[in-house]
Structure 1
């Protein structure tokens, strides 16, 4: 399953992803950002599940299943570019800002921001075509909403 998905992502001119594959790509990107500081904290896992549940209207079990599949995919994926390209190609700019909010919420879930997370967030924002200002605004909205 994952090898086919990765082949589609790494094709020279990949077709836009369907809804299920786009969900998986976003979930894998959330996992990647959570793992970027080498501390995949329970708070980050819970936050990923909550983001997936809220964003896609999933049950707790379906959100956990999607995250589990994303964990496997993320471990096998060679780079972040593939996930971001898949998301950028299927998600309008305004909605990519909400993707940035989801990513920031995972980064901030464990109460600390590590250099590795900040560096990956800058890269992801750039790859998604989200400018620094909008990424910063997304982070601030999450901090206000989450009480950080």
Structure 2
């Protein structure tokens, strides 16, 4: 079932995607980021759940369920582009900056700034059309909230 859902992200003949698909794509990116350093910790899973709950108005159980589905999708997805394309096409620029903030929030969940996570955020910002200045400001806002 998930493989057929993933085909929605890459098949040009597939039906139009919805904003809910964009939110699912964000969940997948958050999981991909948390796994980027090879150490997917409970603190990162908890942070993803909180981010998803806050973004989408989900209960803790709904957020955990969404994260679980995103974990499965992330393990099957060969690249990041298919998810960023959906987000870029469906979400306004300012809201895409909020996606970068969410990624930084998850990256800092384990209190370690990892090179693999940094690289994935830079790639994602580029694919989302976020300029370097706005991406750096997003990181700084997250760091300031965590201080």
Give TM-score scaled by structure 1 length: 0.95
Mean Cα deviation higher: 60-69 or 114-123: 114-123
Q: How far 1:145 sits from its partner (Å)?
A: 1.0
| Structure 1: gaps (5+ residues) | none
Q: 1:37-56 maps to which residues of 2 (within 5 A)? A: 37-56=37-56
Residue 121 of structure 1 aligns with which residue? Answer: 121
Q: Runs (4+) of structure 1 moved beyond 4 Å?
A: 13-16
Equivalent residues, number:
147
Q: How far 1:20 sits from its partner (Å)?
A: 2.3
**2:124 aligned with 1:142, yes or no?**
no
Residue 108 of structure 1 aligns with which residue? Answer: 108
Q: How far apart, in 2, do the equivalents of 1:117 and 1:28 lie?
A: 14
| Structure 2: gaps (5+ residues) | none
Q: 1:11-50 maps to which residues of 2 (within 5 A)? A: 11-12=11-12, 16-50=16-50
Q: How far apart, in 2, do the equivalents of 1:128 and 1:16 lie?
A: 19
Give TM-score scaled by structure 2 length: 0.95
Q: How far apart, in 1, do the equivalents of 2:46 and 2:123 lie?
A: 24
Cα-Cα RMSD:
1.3
Q: How far apart, in 1, do the equivalents of 2:138 and 2:13 lie?
A: 30
